[in-house]
Structure 1
Amino acid sequence: MRLLVVGAGSTGGYFGGRLAQAGRDVTFLVRPARAALLREKGLQVVSPHGDFTLKPQLVTAGEIKAPYDVILLTVKAYSLDDALDNLAPAVAPQTMILPVLNGMKHMDTLAARFGKQATVGCVCKVAATLDIEGRILQIAPFQDLAYGEMDGALSPRMKELDQFMQDAGFDARLSSDIAREMWEKWIYLAALGGVTCLMRGTIGEIEAASGGTDFVHRFLDEVVATVRAVGSQPSESFLTEVRAILTTKGSPQTSSMYRDLQKGAPIEADQIVGDLLARARKAGVATPLLATAYTNLCVYQNRLVK
């Protein structure tokens, strides 16, 4: 199988790099500046599971000459439209697109552009970042990639994809319930992002504040009520785990959206919070805290475009 990884940042670079290191046929679609750096210094990964550097196969927009079997889509949601234009020549009727974007809005966008058959459910869990030298730093040991048909079918193409992903230096898993896993990840990201951005603090700081734990529970309740009304039902074990994580005493945890906000960088407010709010309103679910968080994030976003 031939894999095109769209983006060679912390997520695409990590999983794509591991697959390339394992001998898979991997090409990265990147911007010219990133391509120049990778050609000069190679794709460098610093990881608890072992550091490595490799010379990746690269293409930039307009250089794709033939379709790929699999596309791992790892861009930020606000860059999705441009990315789809750039990767379109790589899509054939049999191509599988695995998006690791946040939320669920991108699934509708992909289906509208390339058809539902092209889209595969996907959830990744990795804590990584780019340093000032362009290296990928894995900052926690977990490195999970789950994938599957949205209807749960164990199709021949999923078996082939699973074989491609196995034994590549990370935890790869074929899921028969990937839709639920995607909705659960959205619950976690919306709650974590919403509470840390609205309160401008870590989980531990929010828990220690007067009314902080009650606020977190009420915020999570709104998110869960929305997903129960419009998406797949989360498991009780997942909800128990998330409540514990979001109210842990002394926890330094924040969301990537909060960290981007602190840096003055673009954020995925529309995809992580705004889209969920829109679905809640359409379903008639009352979400005053979610609405407050989205308004707060919109104030920040509006400053960026001035």
Structure 2
Amino acid sequence: MKILVVGAGAVGGYFGARLEQAGRDVTFLVRPARAQQLRRDGLRVLSPHGDLTLKPTLITADELSSPYDIIFLSVKAQALDQAIKDMSAAVGPETMIYPVLNGMRHIKTLTKAFGERAVVGGVCIVIADLDEQERIVQIAPLQKLTYGELSGEITARIRALDDAFRNAGFDTELSANITQEMWQKWVMIASLGLATCLLDGPVGAINAVPDGQQTILQAIDECAAIATACGFPPPQSLIDNIRKQATMKDSKLTSSMYRDLKKGAHVEVETILGDLLEHGHCYQVPAPLLQAGCVRLRVYQNTLKSPSPTS
């Protein structure tokens, strides 16, 4: 199957590189500046599972002329509207759009743009980042893609997507309940993002101070309570695992939101925290830490939009 990876950042670049390494037909849709850098340096991955450098097949939006079978959509939430415009020529009647964005809001945006049939559900688990040399650095061994029809059906086309992704150097799962899986990831990343961004430190540093552990656990409880009220209760095993990861005394674990915050970059506050808080308001679920985290990051986002003061 012809696979178009939209975005060659930490997530799309990593999984796209593994797919290409496994012999799949992969093309990366990138912005002109990224295309120039990748043509010069190659797509470079540093990983516990083995480093690699590829000369990827690249295309820019103005060069797209025909549909692809699978579109692996891996941009940040703030780039979604532009990505929809850029990739529109690649979407045909049989194209499957496989998004791995955080939260749930993007599903509504994509179905509005391309129709319900075009969009499948997706969950991506990987901890990776771009370093100062634009290399993709996988920080931890976790690497998994989960996918499924939003209807829960196991269709011929989702089996074809499964065939394309399986045995490509990372874990995969074909799910008959992908919406629940997406909510579970949302609770996980929202809990960690809320704690690390609001409390301004990695997990271990938070647990090292009085009341730190109690505050992290409260953040997890708030996020899980909202998911439960919305009809997607996280299984106890997931909550136990999040609690375990979040209360390790010497852990350097952070969230992608926190790493973006420390870089001075835009953070996905509305997608990960704001939308969850809005769901909580709808069901009258009290979430004071989540509200405080949203306010803190919205204030931060506004400073990025403001011009720098002159001396």
TM-score category of the 2 structures, normalised to the smaller one? over 0.9
Once the two structures are TM-superposed, the CA of residue 48 in structure 1 deviates from its matched residue by: 2.0
For structure 2, which runs of at least 5 residues remain unmatched after alignment? 307-311
After superposing on structure 2, the runs of 4+ consecutive aligned residues of structure 1 that deviate more than 6 Å are none
Structure 2 CA distance, aligned partners of 1:70 and 1:231?
A: 30
Q: Does 1:90 align with 2:90?
A: yes
Residue in 1 aligned with 2:309?
none
Aligned twin of 1:153: 153
TM-score (norm 1): 0.97
Give the equivalent residue in structure 1 for 2:135. 135
- Quote the Cα distance in structure 2 between the aligned partners of 1:37 and 1:247: 40
Residue number in structure 2 paired with 1:185: 185
Report the alpha carbon displacement of residue 34 of structure 1 after superposing the two structures with TM: 0.7
Q: Distance in 2 between matches of 1:254 and 1:128?
A: 12
Query: What's 1:297 paired with?
Result: 297
Q: CA RMSD in A?
A: 1.2
C-alpha deviation, 1:221, in angstroms: 1.5
Letter in 2 for 1:236: Q
Q: TM-score, normalised by structure 2?
A: 0.95
Conserved 8 A contact 1:70-1:95: yes
Q: State the match for 2:144 in structure 1.
A: 144
CA displacement 1:54-90 (0-9 Å, x = unmatched): 2211111221110111000010101110111101111
The answer for the alignment partner of 1:50 in structure 2 is 50
Residue number in structure 1 paired with 2:3: 3
Q: Secondary structure at the match of 1:300?
A: helix
- Report the AA paired with residue 128 of structure 1: A
1:201 to 1:61, Cα distance in 2 relative to 1, 3 A: same
Q: SS of the residue aligned with 2:44?
A: strand
| 2:278 partner amino acid | A
Aligned length: 306
Q: Indicate yes or no: 2:226 matched with 1:226.
A: yes
Give the partner amino acid of 2:156: P
Matched residue, 1:213: 213
1:1-306 pair list within 5 angstroms: 1-306=1-306
Q: Aligned partners of 1:208 and 1:159: how far apart in 2?
A: 47
Q: 1:183–1:231: 8 Å Cα contact kept in structure 2?
A: no
Matches of 1:185 and 1:109, distance apart in 2: 19
After TM superposition, give the deviation of residue 139 of structure 1 in Å: 2.1
Q: Helix, strand or coil for the counterpart of 2:61?
A: coil
Specify every segment of 5 or more residues in structure 1 that has no aligned partner in the other structure, as ranges.
Answer: none
CA contact (8 A) 1:10 1:137 kept: yes
Contact residue 72 and residue 99 of structure 1 kept, 8 A? yes
State the distance in 2 between where 1:127 and 1:189 align.
11
